[in-house]
Amino acid sequence: MVKRGIKTLGFVGTADPYGENWAKVMAVQCEKHGIKIVASERFQRQDTSVTGQSLKLLMAKPDAVLVAAPGSSSVMPQTTLFDQGYKGQMYQTHGAAMDAFLQLGGKKVEGTILAASLMLVLPEMPDNHPSKPVARQYIDAYTKAYGSAPATFGANVYDAGLLLEKAIPVAEQKAQPGTPEFRAALRLALENTHEMSGTQGVYNMTPEDHSGFDERGRELITVKDGHWTLLK
C-alpha cells in the first residue's frame, strides 16, 4: 500500500475474531506507515447484503479498501463495491486465497491484491524455492486421491503433519508418549524446528514464534485475467 501511494483506507471485515483481529493489526500498521483508515465496517458471514456498509465506504472515498473475511464471505463486499462504482484498489486477506473466490467474483475481483501461499502460483515460483517440491508433491498426491486440486488451507494441516513427523522422534528419545514429560519434550522439539520446508514456506520456530515463517512463507499475489498470478 505504501509503495502504491495509498494514503486513505477503507476496511470491511467479518464481525468475529477473524475480522476484528485484522482490524486491530491494520490500525497499528496504518498508523505506523502514515495511512489513515477513513471507514471501518463489519458484517456477518451469513449476511446476504452489505449494501449499507459499502455505501459508507464509498462516502469516505478511500484510495483503497481491504476486505478481511474468510472463504466465500470475502466475495460479497468486493462485488457490491464494484457494482456501486468503486474504482480504488481492492485488497483481500489470505482468507480469500481459493479458486472459489475467482469463480464467484468473476471480473468484479480482477486486480485484487493479497498476500497468500506460494501454492496459488506454484508454476511461477523458482525451482530453487525450498517449498516448491514439497507443495508439488502434496498437490499431486491430493489430486490423484480426490480428483481435484486442493485449497491452500488443507496444506496447513499437511504441514502440521510434517512438523510432527520430525518432532515426535526427538521427543520419544526423552520421554514416554502419553506422559506430561513427553508433551513437554514434544513442545520443545517443535519450538526448535529449524529450516524445515513445508508446502506453505520454511519453518524456523522458537518459544516466542509458533508460526515460524519468514518472507519465504508468503507471496504478493494479484488476480489477472481470472487467475492468480504473482504481483509484478
- The confidence score (pLDDT) of residue 31 equals 98
- The confidence score (pLDDT) of residue 52 equals 97
Q: In what order do the strands lie in the sheet with 113-116?
A: 36-43, 8-14, 64-68, 89-92, 113-116, 219-224, 227-230
Structure confidence by residue, pLDDT tens digits, 55-95: 999 999 999 999 999 999 999 999 999 999 999 999 999 99
Percent of the chain, pLDDT > 90? Answer: 94
Residue with cell 514464534: 209
- Specify the pTM: 0.89
Say whether domain 132-215 belongs to CATH 3.40.50.2300.
Answer: yes
Fold of 8-116: Rossmann fold (3.40.50)
Residue with cell 462516502: 59
Q: How far apart are the first and last CA of the chain?
A: 14
- CA triple 136-138-140, angle to 5 deg: 65
pLDDT at 27 over 90: yes
Distance from C-alpha of 207 to C-alpha of 228, rounded to nearest angstrom: 35
- The confidence score (pLDDT) of residue 15 equals 98
Retrieve residue 105's grid coordinates.
Answer: 467474483
Confidence tier at 227 by pLDDT (50, 70, 90): very high
pLDDT at 50 over 90: yes
pLDDT: is 215 or 65 the higher one? 65
Does the fold of domain 132-215 match that of domain 8-116? yes
- The confidence score (pLDDT) of residue 220 equals 96
Confidence tier at 44 by pLDDT (50, 70, 90): very high
Distances from the Cα of 168 to the Cα of 154, 176, 185, 191, angstroms: 21, 11, 9, 12
Structure confidence by residue, pLDDT tens digits, 155-206: 999 999 999 999 999 999 999 999 999 999 999 999 999 999 999 999 999 9
Distance from C-alpha of 149 to C-alpha of 152, rounded to nearest angstrom: 10
Mean pLDDT of the residues in the chain: 96
Distance from C-alpha of 231 to C-alpha of 142, rounded to nearest angstrom: 27
- The confidence score (pLDDT) of residue 232 equals 86
Q: What are phi and psi of 220, to 5 degrees?
A: -85, 120
Domain positions in the chain are 8-116, 132-215
- Across 107-130, average pLDDT: 95
Confidence tier at 146 by pLDDT (50, 70, 90): very high
pLDDT at 153 over 90: no
Q: Of 101, 103, 102, 132, which is closest to residue 119 (Cα–Cα)?
A: 132
Retrieve residue 168's grid coordinates.
Answer: 515426535
- Across 96-125, average pLDDT: 95
Retrieve residue 130's grid coordinates.
Answer: 525450498
- Across 43-50, average pLDDT: 96
